[in-house]
Amino acid sequence: MTHIILKKGRDESLRRFHPWVFSGAIAALEGPEPAEGDIVDVRSAGGEILGCGHWQIGSISVRILSFGTATLPENFWTLRLGAALRARKALGLAGEGCLSATLTNCYRLVHGEGDGLPGLIVDWYDGVCVMQAHSAGMFKAREVIASALHEVYGDQLKAVYDKSSGTAPFKAGLDLCDGYLFKQDGYAPQEDSFVLENGHKFSVDWENGQKTGFFLDQRENRARVERYAAGKNVLNLFCYTGGFSVYALEGGAKSVDSVDSSARAMEMTDRNIVLNGYGTSQDPAADAIHHSYCCDALDFLHEAPEDKYDLMIVDPPAFAKHRGALHNALRAYQRLNADAIRKVAPGGIVFTFSCSQAVDKQAFALAVFSAAASTGRSVRILDRLNQPTDHPVSIYHPEGEYLKGLMLYVE
């Protein structure tokens, strides 16, 4: 095994359980040249073992899996995944007999560093685990992870699907081909299957959809939208598979318009609207409670009449994928929010979000503040919104916080 020796004084963050070793902190490598994704151990300048983790090429060189040990402890994967499931049980999201299981049977089981598994995402969809490896190490460990999931869930686990190809930032000559790592005897994905979230039905296409197929991170914010939707004309921008739209309809909205530039996403939105018992049309002139628009959300908003919508949801994709893109991203958030605030009807509500990890809460609030100021309207912050409890943030790794939002009241 390769030993990674840190420069003098560069061991502090590891001693505080921050799980990343940056390339600039490394003094020397001892032993064989590691391949991307190999397990290496990390030592202080004085030779003390600080932990072990996955080696990767890039500015983060090691993502620590286990602190204080040179190799992974026995049963490492089962123990970590078991701990992740225990946490979800404590939250009332998982476990037999849990109150919410009849209403919600999908949740995030593993949220990377927040669950002590840097580089790994696992989402649970009523018996099917969909995993995404964001590091070569996690990708190489996918078979072990699948069998550990089986051990942790037992017969409850119907299948494990690996969906790493789209998001893997690593090359390492790995054969990235999505597919099932495990299937219970007789399991076959059903076209008409759906999951439940707060009692609402959603069809999830993990094989062809974005990310793991559904945005579980908006569960609690969708429930908020439901609470305020009664009698409102709602606009859901960047709707993906229509999560917020279904909740708005269930909350008694007068009408809902959903917009996304992806044709596949709009198809899924229509499907989910119908699945929950509502009518939908792609023809703006048609008499339906829900209308779908497959187009650019910024253009749609720009051309939307003033005062038509009483409630807007603005949930764009990450405008800043890295810190270098921060400046342009903030300007984009500002322009988008200015349009939303300008267009919403008097007494209207805007739910606005950013899922860019590089844009922190303060920066986002400042962008929205500038947006509000540019419209000259009176705007109040009614609520501050976050990622839900199954997307935990390790206290030692604040970078895990990524979803932020504001609920605004526009006079």
Catalytic residues: 355
Q: Min. distance of Cβ 265 from ligand SAH in angstroms?
A: 5
In the complex with ligand SAH, the residue whose CB is nearer, 184 or 262, is 262
- The footprint of ligand SAH (CB under 6 A) covers 210, 215, 218, 238-241, 243-244, 259-262, 265, 296-298, 315-317
Which is closer to ligand SAH, CB of 142 or CB of 335? 335
CB of 195: closest distance to ligand SAH in angstroms? 13
- 8 Å CB contact between 276 and 251: no
Min. distance of Cβ 237 from ligand SAH in angstroms? 7
d(CA 34, CA 2): 6
Name the residue nearer to ligand SAH (CB basis): 77 or 319. Answer: 319
CB-based contact 254:232 (threshold 8 Å):
yes
Q: Cα separation of 122 and 129, whole Å?
A: 6
Shortest Cβ distance from residue 251 to ligand SAH (Å)? Answer: 15
- As a whole number of angstroms, the distance between CA 116 and CA 68 comes to 14
Helix 361-375 crosses helix 326-343 at what angle (to 10 degrees)?
40
What is the closest distance, in whole angstroms, from the C-beta atom of residue 220 to ligand SAH in the complex?
A: 12
- DSSP letter for each residue of 253-274: -SEEEEEES-HHHHHHHHHHHH
Closest CA to 189 of 122, 130, 128, 240: 128
CA separation for the pair 325, 155 (Å, rounded): 45
Pure H helices in 304-395: 326-343, 361-375
Beta-carbon contacts of 131 under 8 Å, excluding residues fewer than 6 positions away, are 110, 120, 121, 122, 123, 142, 145, 146, 160, 161, 162, 163, 164, 181, 212
Nearest to 201 by CA among 106, 110, 131, 289: 106
Using CA atoms, how far apart are residues 61 and 291, in angstroms rounded to an integer? 48
Q: Measured from the CB of residue 247, what is the shortest distance to ligand SAH in angstroms?
A: 9
Q: Which residues pair with 110 in a beta bridge?
A: 122
For residues 101 and 294, which CB has a smaller minimum distance to ligand SAH in the complex? 294
CB of 301 to ligand SAH, least distance (A): 9
Task: Please say which residue, 53 or 209, places its beta carbon nearer to ligand SAH.
Answer: 209
Of 259 and 329, nearer to ligand SAH (C-beta) is 259
DSSP structural state of residue 367: H
Beta carbon nearer to ligand SAH, 77 or 238: 238
Between 188 and 263, CB nearer to ligand SAH: 263
Cα angle, residue 66 at apex, residues 135 and 155 outer, rounded to 5° = 75
Please give the Cα distance from 83 to 142 (Å, whole number). Answer: 18
d(CA 257, CA 237): 8
What does the alpha-carbon distance between residue 355 and residue 373 come to, in Å, rounded to a whole number? Answer: 23
Minimal distance, residue 402 CB to ligand SAH, in Å? 13
